[in-house]
Amino acid sequence: MHLSQTYQRILQCSGFAQRASGSAEENLLSDDMLVQRVADGDARALEQLYDRYARPVFSLALRMLGDPAEAEELLQETFVRLWQQAARYDARRGSLGSWLMSITHNLAIDALRSRRRRPQRADFVELCHLPLTDTDEATLAHEAAEVSELRDRVRRAMAQLPEPQRQAIELAYFAGLTHSEIATVLGEPIGTIKTRLRLGMQKLHLLLRDHEPELPRHG
Amino acid sequence: MAECQRPFDECPEDLLPGYALGALDPDELDLVERHLALCARCRAAASEVRRTAELLAFLPSPHLVPARARRKLLARLRPVPSSSLTTWLRRPAWVLALAASILALLFGWQLAERDRSADQQAQQVIQADSQRRAVVQLLAQRDGLLIRLHGNGPARQAHGAIILDPSSNTALIAVEGLPRPATGQSYVVWLVRGQEYWQAGILPVDEHGHAELFLSPRESLRTFDALAITLEKSAQVSSPNGLPVALASLN
């Protein structure tokens, strides 16, 4: 019968059947496999990667730019780059997570420098209360598990640095300030800033080296 | 390339953290890049400190992502206005389950009516029950979407629903009470995006006014604003010219 055939078709051909049987094959695909699909023009694969990485990408953009609207734009731009340049991704050079975050960081640095407006000192930026009423729950539910683990680990490592070293690193990385600009902001000699960055990064390397050279690799 | 043979005190090691963090002033950057071109040892050191620096990207406190960002992204992938189906996902699961139950029971009843044979009827009821449970289960998981469909114009009495699965990009349109079109006429289903219409198929109507159509478009259903049904004088039309019969917003 027509009805029965239709139902069978939708149950067999659609994700309904997959979920009904408890097999979410697509959710098990690795980042590398999804990137390959994105390179082939599969928008749904892009959405799955968006689910996994939109949150850390948005959080990084927001931290650096300090403006939710600009951070949204940067989030979109990062994934548009992924859509356009997926074929260029080389898994041998690092994980997709690190690649996406590098794209985000570079875009944010470009934005900061092009508008020639330095944000507040990064460690003073307070972004805990954003007026969000329509949030994307999928990016929360499907965030790559390794992202959360790494976030906690980096946070713990940074907390172990002396405050002046942590401050200098954050001003360099998140605010995009140069040695001389950091020195001006903090009122310290430039040599002091270089020393703080060097000692801070050395200690950070020791604390985080278990995570190097590989960053989170989903699936 | 001749590698650096200079003593280590000439290597700009104190600048490598700043290099990895992107914190060098222009003259420093020039110095470091020229040095790295010649010094394998510093290249390795710079690579190492850069990998550490990259981990800082994961430091910021996590923030919730606005739902509109996904919609805008999808719209940018296809440069036309897109609509969101995500709001449907926030419907309470029990509402979807209830709606699915009603729809599925309707289908089950129709199956039973169509088959006069007791054996066939029993078989169809079992099958309908199985299908009903599958659909209810799936919609209750909030992964399936149910959209009401109301007729107007010549199909004022028509009513139905669209069951949509965004993850597989498939949909089932089911309509009741649809008048059979005159000879040569057809109900045509359109997917609407802004001012543009894509023909999605012909909606066949049986003698009971029941119609179903399975959709599996190439483009993501998320990118369409609405689904429309028109009564056309010919099935071979590239744009809607006939009477509008039903319209369902996908927003």
Query: Does domain A145-214 fall into CATH 2.40.50.100?
Result: no
CB A49 within 8 A of CB A82: yes
Domain ranges in chain B are: 8-58, 86-249
Q: Which residue has the higher pLDDT, A73 or B89?
A: A73
From chain A, pick out residues whose CB is under 8 angstroms from the CB of B109.
Answer: none
Widest pairwise Cα distance in chain B: 97
For residue A128, the model assigns a pLDDT of 44
Q: Does pLDDT of B16 surpass 90? A: yes
Per-residue pLDDT of chain A (219 residues; tens, 9 = 90+): 333 454 455 444 444 444 434 334 555 788 999 999 999 888 889 999 999 999 999 999 999 999 999 999 999 999 999 999 999 888 888 889 999 999 999 999 999 888 755 444 444 444 444 555 578 888 887 888 788 888 999 999 999 999 999 999 999 999 999 999 999 999 999 999 999 999 999 999 999 886 654 444 444
Edge-to-edge strand ranges of the sheet holding B186-193: B196-203, B186-193, B226-232, B243-249
The answer to whether B48 contacts A205, with C-beta atoms less than 8 Å apart, is yes
Report the distance separating Cα B71 and Cα B83, nearest Å.
7
User: In this complex, which of A75, A176, A201 lies closest to B52 when CB atoms are compared?
Assistant: A201
Closest CA to A108 of B57, B16, B17: B57
Interface test with B, best of A82, A152, A201 (most B CBs within 10 A): A201
CB B190 within 8 A of CB B234: no
Q: What is the pTM for the complete model shown?
A: 0.56
Give me the CATH code for the A26-117+125-143 domain, please: 1.10.1740.10
Q: Is ipTM over 0.85?
A: no
Q: In what helix (H) or strand (E) does residue A61 lie, and over which residues does it extend? A: helix A43-65
Report the distance separating Cα B81 and Cα B72, nearest Å.
8
Sign of CA dihedral B48, B50, B55, B59: positive
- Structure tokens that stand for A3 in this block: 């009805």
A196 in contact with chain B, both atoms CB, cutoff 8 A:
no
Domain ranges in chain A are: 26-117+125-143, 145-214
User: In this complex, which of B59, B77, B144 lies closest to A16 when CB atoms are compared?
Assistant: B144
Radius of gyration of chain B (CA): 30
User: CB-hemisphere CA count at 13 Å for A113?
Assistant: 16
CB B199 within 8 A of CB B190: yes
Multiple choice CATH, B86-249, 2.60.40, 2.40.50, 3.30.43, 1.10.10: 2.60.40
Mean pLDDT of B64-71: 90
Q: What is the pLDDT of residues B171-217, one digit of tens each?
A: 888 888 888 888 888 889 988 887 788 888 888 888 888 888 888 88
From chain A, pick out residues whose CB is under 8 angstroms from the CB of B23.
Answer: 172-173, 177-179, 182, 197
